[in-house]
A and B are shown apart, each in its own frame.
Chain A
Amino acid sequence: MKRQIAVLTAAAAMLCQTLPVRAAEHYDVYSYDRFDEAVPSQAGYTAERAVSGKMLGTADFKEPSDLFLDAQEQLYIADSGNDRIVVTDTALTTCLHVADTFTMPDGTQTTLSLPTGIYISPETGLWYIADHDNSRVLVTDADGNVQLEITKPDSELFDASMTFLPQRVLADKAGNVYIVLGNITTGAAMFSPEGDFLGYYGANTVEETSQVIADYLRKRFSTQEMRSRQARTVPTGITSFDLDEYGFIYTCTQSVSQRKDMVKKLNPAGENLFASLPADWGDLHPVYDSATNLSYHSMLCDIDIGADGNINCLDLTAGHIFQYDKEGNLLFVLGTKADQLGGFAAPSALESCGDSLLVLDQQKGTVTVFRESDFGAAVHRAAVLCNEGCYAEAIAPWQEVLRYDGSYRQAFLGLSAGYFVTGDYKASMEYAKLADSSYRYDRAFACYRQQWLHEHGGQLLFGIVLIFAGGILLRILHRRQPPGRRERT
């Protein structure tokens, strides 16, 4: 009997394995609920394929470190270890062009050495290459003719003893060049279109930890000599940046200890527009990894602004990609540290490309393509409508989102806003409660109360008058009673 059961179970197990299983991600997809706790969720993007250099018809990538999509829908990969820039189509099928030698203005040839950043200006089509080990940034046209070479500035603002190690590079609409330098904590170095050093842009602020405050107080009471021996309090330097369509620069900072200024949106004056945002970037709690028996804080190593304004952040430690909407609300978390498709060994850059996300892995030497899932498409549709202010139109898409994931907090918030606009305040209050948003509830309740008073104000007033009249009547009757009964206490 026992053996029969065993055989049956084995057969059943085999049968189950042969059944087609819905393509699921290899890792636990989660999102945060209203208590800021990670709960299982649907995947907004699914890993489709990973592309190596060989698959593109060129040599394998060696420690590639940057990825860029230009306005002509061409993808640029800074293949640092091979000292070259690889240009491919967005479908990642063929290699269109490999750039490794460039012609200097005086006609000599020059090669790259560990290029770590690439940027193509949508206005001029010029290439900006952070040539790390050559301590320079090259500005070239598409044919490889160098227009400008930016090297270590000879300026009072730039410490002469510092080396010039460009990591990432960016040019704004006016042609100003911004360079993230590995050893500078005072922000990105800013250069004019002619290559003159202008100063620094978008420095991080120091997080007010107890250590920092204690150091500050100690410094107040110490002599100049003592002060010179104390550790200086400096913020973490920014790690990467990206431009959005309006020309705002977004920076991200990779730090073990600093939680402040992880993601910033900078206006032209260098002020952080996200400073007052309640948003918390990256994982809210350290992620425990059973393989290494360690807990990891998120360290954001790259940032990308999608075409619809979504902010994508790449987390180096846990291999997570966080997608936020314009306002910094978390939409999806995807990716992990793993050997399978959808997992990374050492992610280094990400770029959004239409409805897919491309992630570059430095160690694997691959570009992983994440395609938007049905759930992701629904969320994006709704979020775009919401961000445009079409709250009422976003009701249907948000309802669809809730059919995929019944505890998706953004959907509750969106529905609360939607029903508020359409005047269904009761529903708006209900969804605000589900989203745990006191503020939304307050807005809806204020209107609901007004509506209620409009409808029942007369009855309310009548009731109050009735109660008062009854009270007065009782008192009059009470007085008429004989005093003997009244004195009974």
Chain B
Amino acid sequence: MMDLTAGQWVVHAVTHPAEGFEDMRWKKAGSLKITAVILLLWFAGAILHGRMYGFQFFAVPEKVFNIVPFLVQTVVIFLAWVIGNWSVCTLLDGEGNMRNIAVYSAYALVPYVVSLYAEVLLSHILIRDEGIFLQIISVTGTLWTAVLLFSAIRSVHQYTAFKTVLAVLLTIAAMLIMLFLLVLALSLLQNVWLFVYSVFTELMYRLKV
């Protein structure tokens, strides 16, 4: 039973919100390769969504293209999620390891990523009056992913529903703390660099004069 290929596992997990991830856990399925592919597709989809949306809906106002925001909004936020969830759930008796958290979360993202592409594609075919369809796709994809993500976290850590909600909230808090620490570290590093630089300049000046 449940002898599925790696690809079929993705479909199974996405189409069975209630027990798809339980099955995956039971069969020890899920591949890092596919996780990477989903992330890459998400990244590309976010760029397409931001830059190649149908002109009748959204005129891209920027003259220059900056890839960093897209990178941060997809891959970096995913990594922060995985690390945050892992650090929270090891403290909350979660059974998932980091690999499984990453794999399950990525699988849960599939509906959202698909909705990104579907939206971009349809935005070139529809007109403004029919924009409600794009909204439906967007909302459906997001909600579906939210449900899947909840199910994924519950399965990977073998939590109750209440504990899952708590874990998700704590994970978001952990992500914010990470952001805060990152900003702090960056500004401190900048200060250190400035200090070293001014000492160096001063020394060079003294040597010259």
Contact = CB atoms under 8 A, between A and B. Distances in A.
Interface residues of B, number: 14
Contacts of B135: none
A445 B56 contact: yes
B55 A433 contact: yes
B5 A441 contact: no
Interface residues of A, number: 12
B3 A441 contact: no
A370 B197 CA distance: 57
A73 interface: no
A436 B5 CA distance: 48
Interface in B1-20: 3-5
A438 interface: yes
B27 interface: no
B46 to A, nearest CB: 21
B203 interface: no
Interface in A408-456: 432-433, 436-438, 441-442, 445-446, 449
B55 A449 contact: no
A158 B5 CA distance: 86
A438 B5 contact: no
Nearest to B130: A446
B58 interface: yes
B179 interface: no
Contact of B56 (A35, A442, A489): A442
Contact of A438 (B3, B56, B129): B56
Given A442-B128, A446-B127, A489 B55 contact: no
Contacts of B3: 489
Given A446-B127, A489-B5, A438 B61 contact: no
Contact of A436 (B4, B59, B125, B127): B59
A35 B127 contact: no
A291 B20 CA distance: 71
Nearest to A33: B63
B87 to A, nearest CB: 37
Contacts of A442: 56-57, 127-128
Nearest to B5: A489
A436 B55 CA distance: 9
A441 B125 contact: no
Contact of B61 (A35, A432, A441, A489): A35
Interface string B117-134: 000000001011100000
Nearest to A435: B59
Given A446-B127, A449-B127, A441 B55 contact: yes
A442 B57 CA distance: 8
Interface in A210-244: none
Contacts of A441: 55-56, 59
Contact of B59 (A438, A445, A449, A489): A438
Interface in B98-129: 125, 127-129
A461 B59 CA distance: 31
Given A35-B63, A489-B3, A489-B5, A445 B57 contact: no
B57 A438 contact: yes
A258 to B, nearest CB: 26
B64 to A, nearest CB: 11
B1 to A, nearest CB: 13
A438 to B, nearest CB: 5
B127 A438 contact: no
Contacts of A445: 55-56, 127
A382 B56 CA distance: 26
Interface centre among B56, B63, B128 (most CB of A within 10 A): B56
Interface string B139-170: 00000000000000000000000000000000
B203 to A, nearest CB: 36
Contacts of B127: 442, 445-446, 449
Nearest to B3: A489
A438 B58 contact: yes
Nearest to B59: A438
Contacts of B58: 438
B124 to A, nearest CB: 9
A35 B61 CA distance: 7
A446 B63 CA distance: 27
Contacts of A437: 59
Contacts of B61: 35
A445 B55 CA distance: 10
A432 B127 CA distance: 15
Nearest to B125: A449
Interface centre among A437, A445, A489 (most CB of B within 10 A): A445
Interface string A34-49: 0100000000000000
Interface in A283-326: none
A432 B54 CA distance: 13
B159 to A, nearest CB: 32
Contacts of B129: 446
Contacts of B125: 449
A464 to B, nearest CB: 14
A436 B61 CA distance: 9
Nearest to B62: A35
B20 to A, nearest CB: 18
16 contacts: A35-B63, A437-B59, A438-B55, A438-B57, A438-B59, A441-B55, A441-B59, A442-B56, A442-B127, A442-B128, A445-B56, A445-B127, A446-B127, A449-B127, A489-B4, A489-B5
Given A35-B61, A442-B56, A445-B127, 13 more contacts: A35-B63, A432-B55, A433-B55, A438-B55, A438-B56, A438-B57, A441-B55, A442-B57, A442-B128, A445-B56, A446-B127, A449-B125, A489-B3
Interface of A: 35, 432-433, 436-438, 441-442, 445-446, 449, 489
A-B interface, 6 closest residue pairs, ranked by CB to CB distance from nearest: A442-B56, A446-B127, A442-B128, A438-B59, A441-B55, A441-B56
